[in-house]
Amino acid sequence: MTLNASAQKVQNILRDRGFPCEVVELADSTRSAKEAAQAVGCELGQIVKSLVFRTLESSRAVLVVASGPNRVDEALISALLGEGIGKADADFVRERSGYVIGGVPPLGHASPMVTFIDEDLLQYPEVWAAAGTPHAVFCLKPADLPVMTGGQVVKIHA
């Protein structure tokens, strides 16, 4: 099966970095965590959301890799960064990550992003993340997320 160019790019990065993950393109939308869970047939908590924030002073891109139902407590992340953050807009997400909203993968971005990983993801044997488009996902072991992203496992909500 031929993958969409962005999905193929993610598949190539996974392969080149030695992760045995297969990118799957689905007819159904995987744009939101809820849609992705329905399309894959897993628990919402097993969906890896890749949420991009922007630091208010230095305009750094910050990636929070969060479990499906969780809301990021911006104050907790700001405290870790020593700087306030806000939600990034769609243009900033696209420019810094190289992908459209709903398809942002946890790795392989246009520019490096400071990354935090939701500790709640680690309770699952496997989880599913976006793979470059709002119709593409891949399955991974959450224990691979720190290596994949260079991120730190933290508590992201109260």
Cβ proximity to ligand 5CA: between 77 and 82 the closer is 77
The tokens describing 91, both together, are 């243009």
* Residues 57, 44 contacting (CB under 8 angstroms): no
Nearest CA to 157 out of 73, 77, 74 is that of 73
Angle at 132 between CA 4 and CA 31, to 5 degrees: 105
- Considering the rule CB under 6 A, would residue 33 count as an interface residue with ligand 5CA? yes
Q: How far is the CB of 68 from ligand 5CA (least distance, A)?
A: 8
Cβ proximity to ligand 5CA: between 82 and 130 the closer is 130
- Considering the rule CB under 6 A, would residue 31 count as an interface residue with ligand 5CA? yes
Alpha carbons 95 and 111: distance in angstroms, whole number: 9
Dihedral angle, C-alpha 128, 131, 135, 141, nearest 10 °:
-10
Task: List beta partners, residue 139.
Answer: 128
Among positions 9, 21, 49, 149, the unique one binding ligand 5CA when judged by CB under 6 A: 49
Q: Which stretch binds ligand 5CA (CB under 6 A): 54-62, 109-117, 128-136, 148-156?
A: 128-136
Cβ proximity to ligand 5CA: between 38 and 150 the closer is 38
Residues at the site binding ligand 5CA, with contacts judged by CB under 6 A: 30-33, 36, 47, 49-51, 87, 89-90, 101-102, 104, 128-130, 134, 137
